Amino acid sequence: MLTTIKTHQPIPAGVETEKVIFELKDYFKKSLSQNLNLMEVMSPLFVTSGTGINDDLNGIEKPVRFIAKSFPDRKLEIVQSLAKWKRIKLGEMNIPHGQGIITDMKALRPDEIVSPIHSILVDQWDWEKRISEKERSLDYLKFEVAKIYNAIKKTEEYIAKLYPKMKMFLPDEITFIYSEDLQYSYPKLTPKERENLVAKDYGAVFIMGIGHELADGVPHDLRAPDYDDWSTSTTERYKGLNGDIIVYNPVLKDAFEISSMGIRVDKKALLKQLKLTNTESRTELSFHKKLLNDELPFSIGGGIGQSRLAMLLLRKKHISIVQAEI
């Protein structure tokens, strides 16, 4: 065990880092699965093109496509995330209400702009949980976010026990903030600048309602129209049943996104969001037909970055230190 680590200094690279990454990931996955009542399942690396199952993220990113020799008549594509696949899996497995699935997702996002916190390779704990129609509410969303944050805090405590001189820095609780309120309070700042400000002030925030246009006509960030519900009004002033978990990273001295998640669209929200994004042609795709025909369960889900969490809790400055990439 190391004894020379000071506050916010990273665990030394090499063998020590490799060992603790696996310990961290294993501990967090178990904590999250227990908190959310999830069972682990296998997941695909690629899916069939033209089904609507793959995640197109903000609607502009293109997946890697290929034709396998054994399936010459079928175009396949590498997943970008499993947002819609998980919902189908919930139904196929007939997962009971209040329970869900978690999978170790690997994806390729070739349009990603590589940076110290972004990579073409994406590794996430992708999870999805079956809920009731009545649970499609802001209160329930907050309830589940608090459970996820609890798993993050427990993992931070676990790492601190392994390396006692590493000071814990995450607050005990996460703060909930609407994207509308941020825009109203700081109209001259960009969304990224607003995130930096509140992350530094609170330490950990869940910014709610991401995808719809704010008062200035610009969304806080973009979201695909067919998984998270970002258009449902929760009050006269607020919209959106989704959001991002963002913390303040003391090493990078910046806002740091850990998770994007939300309550998934129902038929009404799907049709509304397809219209808002001029993508109504998607109603002819396999996934969307299933949803419109009431063949998919109500659900909540999201992705939690594995390398992102390792970067944060191990005090690393670059994602390449905690991930095998190019």
Catalytic residue among 104, 257, 266, 280: 257
Task: Based on the residue annotation, tell me whether 257 is a catalytic residue of this protein.
Answer: yes
Q: Give the separation between CA 3 and CA 135, rounded to whole angstroms.
A: 47
Catalytic site residue from 33, 259, 260, 273: 260
Residue 92 annotated in active site? no
Cβ count near 165 (within 10 Å): 12
Task: Tell me, yes or no, if 124 is annotated catalytic.
Answer: yes
Query: Does the annotation count 260 as an active-site position?
Result: yes
List 87, 109, 194, 308, catalytic entry: 109
User: Does residue 139 have an active-site annotation?
Assistant: no
**Residue 65: active-site member:** no
- Answer whether 54's CB lies under 8 Å from 115's CB: no
Distance of CA 271 to the CA centre of its chain: 23
Q: Give me the catalytic one of 31, 135, 244, 307.
A: 244
- Residue 216's Cβ-count burial label (10 Å; 0-12, 13-18, 19+) is exposed
Among residues 55, 126, 135, 229, which one is catalytic? 55
In this structure, which amino acid lies at residue 298? F
Question: From CA 82, how far away is CA 73, in angstroms rounded?
Answer: 24
Q: What is the DSSP string of 4-53?
A: -PPTTPPPPTTHHHHHHHHHHHHHHHHHHHHHHTEEE----SEEETTSS-
Catalytic residue among 33, 43, 119, 124: 124
* CA pair distance 227, 270, nearest whole angstrom: 8
In whole angstroms, what is the distance from residue 58 CA to residue 230 CA? 13
Q: How many CB atoms lie within 10 A of CB 82?
A: 26
Q: Which residues are designated catalytic?
A: 55, 109, 124, 244, 257, 260
